A and B are shown apart, each in its own frame.
Chain A
């Protein structure tokens, strides 16, 4: 895009003394697009040099499951980001899913607890979407309020104690393999394929890009913008629920702090994969690369034997760097 040679269109550019060269703009754009894959290679090289234990089969299997869980959650987060929203309640929904299934699995047939879990997730997603689309609440406030609410509800229900046993089928998903591939990773791949097909080849998918790219244009084109935003929030919450079920199968019990980091991580993964905050830009291949990068980095902290809280520093740095890079890229491209 030869944005810099044309006179600046936006109101902001006119005031700025900052005149980037076209080469610089192209470089930032490429960096934004390819950041995740390049960084993955770099991290793998660092891992090979510093920590050979990284490539042990047991560690690789752990990585696969972690990638699967974060990957499923990040797919939903990417969809929400595509429509200019954000979902900070994914971690609460994810933790709630495990509680619902574990608590209700005792007496009922399993499929009923699954339906219950996904119905609850859909309701919370719908509530998020309602607040964002119909009441025009800033998305992070609406979904953070939802996060506090859901957490409070879950803790009030469980009294803050870990309990219950996870159903056999969830354990199987986390520990069995289909050929050489762990079943959890297969779940992630299947969800990815479905959503990518849905995004690129159905009109509903194109609606999502249209709404994110320019909501008023989308409205004039006859798209029901509010309905799309609400639907996307519902899908996001249900994917978070699915991620929570896979995770609980892996951990084997329901913990107080289950999945607390998935907000930061899913946003970071989507953003570093090239999705922008201003909506309409991004795809799931990028998100997949972002997920892999983030999990590799977090795992590296463990394998290198650093104290576990450096994971917070790691995920925060990745988030800030990714958002700063993508924000800057978006700024340059729009001028």
Chain B
């Protein structure tokens, strides 16, 4: 048989065998980073504005908000669910904080309490999502989609116009630098490392994979199924809340249309990175690749001054091609 022949040949080349195993296990991750290199390389050769260091830093900075949301989304997708309320959670956190700032006359003393309040709102909404999903055994996509619709209405009820009156110290969070490294890029790196350690090295992180792989096996292995799921949704909304707070610092106004479309983009980043949308397979490193690719593409489109509608067209096309090419291993 062909398999045996291959094995005997590889026995004499252990390093080759290890390498081929590594490639086979991480095809999608390697693929995404190769694609990023190709896109960035092509853009750097063709456009001199693209290859400036400040633009490269810009790509990183632009990917922070979508990246934060995508970290949370990855965790939920690993459990076999999906969280479509993340964009609205980010928006409601930003709007609430902005409203209170405006009502209290931009008092800088309120910055820390309000950040904590924002994070608390995020965690609360995530817990709510998780509880409905685990208690009623309903489809997570539709539950979070419905919650997103409710939050959209509530957000418009809070304000239909941008809210001004954010104190200056809060706005400086976004531009704060340590040496030459922007603090927000640092925050992003810390978040990604933390998420990587969380999903690969902690008990709860491994439970996410087990839960996404098979509910039955997870329960038989004495994994707390419901608790793991609720944790995942809380984590996702929590990340979205951080993203909302960052977005508020970046735009400087509480925007009732903030984070529009980020729910779908985060799912796109996760799918591009090769995490199985049926759950249980994939790595957070892939998602990072997906986020960077989306940010690089968006940057290239903006430099080439591509119409926003065509950008949407391309985004849809990329998604359809990606999902059509990656056939799910589970159903094969």
Contacts and interface: CB of A to CB of B under 8 A. Distances in A.
Contacts, number: 154
A140 B141 contact: yes
- Of B278, B312, B328, B331, which is in contact with the most chain A CB atoms at under 10 Å from its CB? B312
Contact of B328 (A15, A137, A315): A137
Interface in A131-155: 131, 135-138, 140-142, 144-153, 155
Contact of A140 (B82, B157, B310): B82
Given A149-B317, A323-B139, A135 B157 contact: no
A204 interface: no
Bin chain A's interface residue count.
35 or more
Contacts of B132: 320, 324
Given A137-B323, A277-B139, A327-B137, A148 B312 contact: yes
Q: Is the contact region of chain B dominated by helix, strand, or loop, or is it mixed? A: helix
A326 interface: yes
A323 B138 contact: yes
Given A149-B316, A307-B157, A328-B138, A144 B146 contact: no
Bin chain B's interface residue count.
35 or more
Contacts of B271: 141
Contact of B145 (A127, A314, A319, A327): A319
Nearest to A268: B146
A11 interface: yes
Contact of B323 (A11, A141, A156, A277): A141
B163 interface: no
Interface in A16-61: none
A181 B88 CA distance: 41
Interface in B133-181: 135-139, 141-143, 145-154, 156-157, 160
Given A311-B153, A323-B139, A324-B138, A131 B328 contact: no
A312 B156 contact: yes
Interface in A202-232: none
A156 B314 CA distance: 11
B2 to A, nearest CB: 27
Contacts of B311: 152
A12 interface: yes
Contact of B153 (A131, A150, A316, A324): A316
A268 B143 CA distance: 11
B82 to A, nearest CB: 7
B124 interface: no
Given A147-B316, A155-B312, A323-B138, 8 more contacts: A15-B219, A135-B324, A149-B320, A156-B312, A264-B149, A267-B142, A319-B142, A327-B139
